[in-house]
Structure 1
């Protein structure tokens, strides 16, 4: 399993943005990462200044969203949907795509469920619960 450090994740997004701005080709996970970045123009200035934002902490208690976590969750969701893992996520994602008509709104609904599932696992010091994740998605799609 690939388990990059915080610095590696941040550098990955800085590099993707720099390559895009320089007109250089992207490979592998860089393309879906760029799609997420382009859909979030509020992060563009941040990605233009790696020296300023590489070490910054984003604290939820301060009401801040961590842009690197947010973009990483987009990548995780894209991967989950591509391999249909957990089984059934692809169909639920497709239902959200139909509802919203665009990938970012659909992914943000999935992200709400993914974040909730991760938070619950951390809070309860328990394993990932794919059934709870899919149940959350069912509520989002109106299938619950």
Structure 2
């Protein structure tokens, strides 16, 4: 299983963005990462700055961690591409129809994923896929 360090994740995103900006050939995963960066112009300066790879992003600092945010987009994109956990693609599609875009649906799913991972970490158990899907489905049916 691929388990990169914090520095490796940050280097991956900054390098993918740099390669896209300079017209270099990207791997399929780098292309996906660079596309998510492109969809988040608020991160462009951060990913172009060398100090961004060493900076700590904490809730107390009032900034979203762009690398965590982009990593969650990649994780959700992968889940959708293989429909794992089973049913996530359909739940995403319902949520995207409700919210008006796949990107907005991913942001809603991101909150569900974060809650599911936090719960698993707190309890010391694997993530509960059914609870995760249920959270997403509830988002799709809320007014």
Q: What is the CA-CA distance between 1:70 and the residue it aligns to? A: 0.3
3-state SS of paired residue (1:29): helix
The residue number in structure 2 matching 1:91 is 90
Q: Following TM superposition, where does structure 1 have runs of at least 4 consecutive aligned residues deviating by more than 4 angstroms?
A: none
How far apart are 1:119 and its partner, in Å?
0.8
Query: Which stretch of the first structure deviates more once superposed, 57-66 or 38-47?
Result: 57-66
Give the TM-score normalised by structure 1: 0.93
1:18 corresponds to 2:13: no
Which range moves more in the overlay, 127-136 or 21-30?
Answer: 21-30
Q: Does 1:126 align with 2:119?
A: no
TM-score of the aligned structures, taking structure 2 as reference length: 0.94
Partners of 2:61 and 2:22 in 1: how far apart? 34
User: Structure 2 regions of 5+ residues with no counterpart?
Assistant: none
**Which residue is equivalent to 1:37?**
37
| Post-superposition offset of 1:25 | 2.2
For the residues of structure 1 that align with 2:113 and 2:139, how far apart are their CA atoms? 12
Q: Matches of 1:48 and 1:62 in 2, distance apart?
A: 20
Tell me how far apart the structure 2 counterparts of residues 22 and 83 of structure 1 sit (CA, whole Å): 31
Alpha carbons 2:93, 2:102 under 8 Å: kept? no
CA distance in 2, matches of 1:53, 1:34: 16
Aligned counterpart, 1:3: 3
Number of residues paired by the alignment? 142
* Cα distance change, pair 127–79 in 1 and its aligned pair in 2 (3 A): same
SS of match in other structure, 1:128: coil
